[in-house]
Amino acid sequence: MVKDMQRTDVFIVGGGPAGLAAGLAARMAGFDVTVVDHSQMPIDKACGEGIMPDGLAALRRLGVELPASCTAPFRGIRFVDQSGKVDADFAQGEGLGIRRPVLHNVLADYADRAGVSLKWGARLANLSQEYAEVNGQAYSFRWLICADGQNSQSRKMAGLDEGSLPRRRFGFRRHYRVAPWSQFVEVHWSDQGQMYITPVSRDEICVALITRQQHARFEDALQSFPDLAPRLHGSTETTRLMGAVSSTRRLRAVQKGRVALVGDASGSVDAITGEGLSMAFQQAVALAGAMRSGNLLSYEEAHKEIAKVPRAMAGLMLTMDGHPKLRQRVFRAFAAQPEFFSKMLAVHTGDASPYSFGVKRSLAFGWHLLTA
Ligand SMILES: Cc1cc2nc3c(=O)[nH]c(=O)nc-3n(C[C@H](O)[C@H](O)[C@H](O)COP(=O)(O)OP(=O)(O)OC[C@H]3O[C@@H](n4cnc5c(N)ncnc54)[C@H](O)[C@@H]3O)c2cc1C
Which residues of the chain fall short of a pLDDT of 50? none
Tell how far the Cα of 212 is from the centroid of ligand 1, in angstroms.
19
Read off the pLDDT of residues 202-227 as tens digits, 9 standing for 90 and up.
Answer: 999 999 999 999 999 999 999 999 99
Report which ligand 1 atom has the smallest distance to the Cα of 276: 19
Read off the pLDDT of residues 251-297 as tens digits, 9 standing for 90 and up.
Answer: 999 999 999 999 999 999 999 999 999 999 999 999 999 999 999 99
- The pLDDT assigned to 155 comes to 96
Q: Which long-range contacts (CB under 8 A, 24 or more apart) does 339-345 make?
A: 340/364, 340/365, 341/79, 341/86, 341/87, 341/88, 342/88, 342/89, 342/91, 344/88, 344/313, 345/76, 345/77, 345/88, 345/89, 345/90, 345/91
Report which ligand 1 atom has the smallest distance to the Cα of 15: 49
Whether ligand 1 lies within 6 angstroms of the CB of 193 is answered as no
DSSP 245: E
- The pLDDT assigned to 180 comes to 96
Tell me the best of 47, 209, 213 to mutate to test the pocket of ligand 1, counting ligand atoms within 8 Å of each CB and taking the most: 47
Tell me the best of 39, 45, 184, 270 to mutate to test the pocket of ligand 1, counting ligand atoms within 8 Å of each CB and taking the most: 45
Domain coordinates in residue numbering, the chain: 6-43+60-66+100-166+249-317, 323-371
Whether ligand 1 lies within 6 angstroms of the CB of 97 is answered as no
Domain 6-43+60-66+100-166+249-317: give its CATH superfamily. FAD/NAD(P)-binding domain (3.50.50.60)
Tell how far the Cα of 149 is from the centroid of ligand 1, in angstroms.
5
Whether ligand 1 lies within 6 angstroms of the CB of 204 is answered as no
